[in-house]
């Protein structure tokens, strides 16, 4: 039996409730190893990877999880682990995905932002703090990169970019080969990874696909160090993972690159920081996560 990751539009009310309940349970649950909230551990892992800038990148922008080949693999492992944690609360629960293309024409009114799901926009009169839904200011707190409390979740829909990805954008990413190319950073082209990550926007804005949806939501989501503070992070990244999975299925002869000549932490057999057995006890390499079906899940 595989875990089935569903479209947010196909969730029953009960499934939505279970998802919210499980996310909140992870926020409340304390890790016996670190003494921190399990949810906040995930925020900090993302922060650790983001702060681990790669000095070998001539542009100085690549880090362990972004603007480099491991972008897709890092986030796939991250979501996989997070989903396992959710399943400890609600057995069989999976992360749903936000297919942006169904909301391209009207992102403000996506069912994602329903009061019984992710809640709505931030309050522009009050520092863009979210005041509706299960993650409203009195019900959810966010953290800074040092783990201290930051306050209410922030969102600023459509202020920093006007739109979210379209079907044409997604088709472009699905049609682009190879997987990645030198110089293995945000200038790589052609590159499925860089196209999907969203640095190849035609207007040079760096805000296409994955990046654009982060920027459109704004607030916590646009602060790459702590973007998982917003629970929508996982639902957004589930769709990024899904698009990569579609690309993989369509291009079975196009493998992960680089296999060994790229930057440290990004090659097929490199350990991905902080899952190097030192920064955390975990160990994960891109090669471990290429086959999503082997990880035990599928998309409908
Ligand atoms: Cu990320």
All domains of the chain, ordered by start, with CATH?
Answer: 3-299 (1.10.1280.10)
- Tokens encoding 4: 């089935």
Q: What is the pTM of this model?
A: 0.97
CA 45 to centroid of ligand 1, rounded, Å = 10
Which residues, listed in sequence order, are joined to residue 5 by a DSSP beta bridge?
299
Residues of the chain by 3-state class (helix, strand, coil), percent to 5: 40, 10, 55
CA 69 to centroid of ligand 1, rounded, Å = 13
Q: What is the pLDDT of residue 58?
A: 83
CA 224 to centroid of ligand 1, rounded, Å = 7
Q: What is the pLDDT of residue 95?
A: 98
Spatial contact of 201 and 189, defined as CB atoms under 8 Å apart:
no
Spatial contact of 274 and 252, defined as CB atoms under 8 Å apart:
no
Residue stretches of the chain with pLDDT short of 50: none
CA 213 to centroid of ligand 1, rounded, Å = 12
CA 65 to centroid of ligand 1, rounded, Å = 6
Distance of alpha carbon 247 from alpha carbon 132, whole angstroms? 36
What is the CA 161 to chain-centroid distance, rounded? 18
Q: What is the pLDDT of residue 33?
A: 83
CA 210 to centroid of ligand 1, rounded, Å = 9
CA 28 to centroid of ligand 1, rounded, Å = 23
| 76 Ramachandran zone, left/alpha/beta (phi>0; psi -120 to 50) | alpha
Q: What is the pLDDT of residue 66?
A: 98
CA 66 to centroid of ligand 1, rounded, Å = 6
CA 261 to centroid of ligand 1, rounded, Å = 23
Q: Regarding beta strands 129-130 and 122-123, do their DSSP bridges make them parallel or antiparallel, or are they unpaired?
A: antiparallel
Q: What is the pLDDT of residues 239-256, one digit of tens each?
A: 999 999 999 999 999 999
Q: What is the pLDDT of residue 34?
A: 85
CA 42 to centroid of ligand 1, rounded, Å = 11
Q: What is the pLDDT of residue 202?
A: 78
CA 85 to centroid of ligand 1, rounded, Å = 18
CA 106 to centroid of ligand 1, rounded, Å = 25
């Amino acid at each position: 039996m595989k875990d089935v990751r569903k479209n947010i539009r196909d969730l029953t009310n009960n499934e939505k409730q279970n998802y919210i309940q499980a996310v909140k349970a992870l926020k409340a649950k304390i890790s016996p190893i670190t003494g921190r909230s399990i949810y906040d551990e995930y925020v900090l892992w993302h922060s650790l990877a983001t702060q681990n800038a790669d000095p070998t990148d001539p542009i100085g922008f690549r880090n362990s999880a972004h603007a480099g080949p491991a972008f897709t693999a890092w986030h796939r492992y991250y979501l996989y682990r997070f989903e396992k944690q959710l399943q400890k609360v609600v057995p069989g629960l999976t992360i749903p995905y936000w297919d942006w293309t169904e909301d391209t024409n009207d992102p403000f009114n996506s069912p994602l932002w329903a009061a019984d799901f992710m809640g709505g926009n931030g309050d522009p009169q009050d520092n863009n703090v979210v005041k509706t839904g299960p993650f409203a200011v009195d019900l959810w707190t966010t953290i800074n990169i040092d783990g201290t409390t930051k306050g209410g979740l922030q969102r600023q829909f459509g202020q920093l970019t006007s739109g979210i990805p379209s079907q044409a954008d997604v088709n472009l990413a699905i049609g682009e080969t190879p997987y990645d190319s030198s110089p293995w950073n945000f200038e790589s082209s052609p590159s499925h990874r860089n196209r999907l990550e969203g640095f190849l926007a035609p207007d040079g804005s760096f805000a296409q696909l994955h990046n654009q949806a982060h920027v459109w939501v704004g607030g916590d989501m646009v602060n790459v160090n702590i973007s998982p503070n917003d629970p929508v992070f996982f639902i957004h990244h589930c769709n990024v993972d899904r698009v990569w999975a579609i690309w993989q299925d369509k291009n079975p002869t196009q493998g992960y690159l680089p296999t060994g000549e790229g930057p440290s932490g990004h090659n097929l057999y490199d350990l991905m920081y902080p899952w190097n057995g030192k920064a955390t006890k975990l160990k994960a390499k891109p090669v471990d996560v290429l086959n999503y079906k082997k990880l035990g899940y599928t998309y409908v």
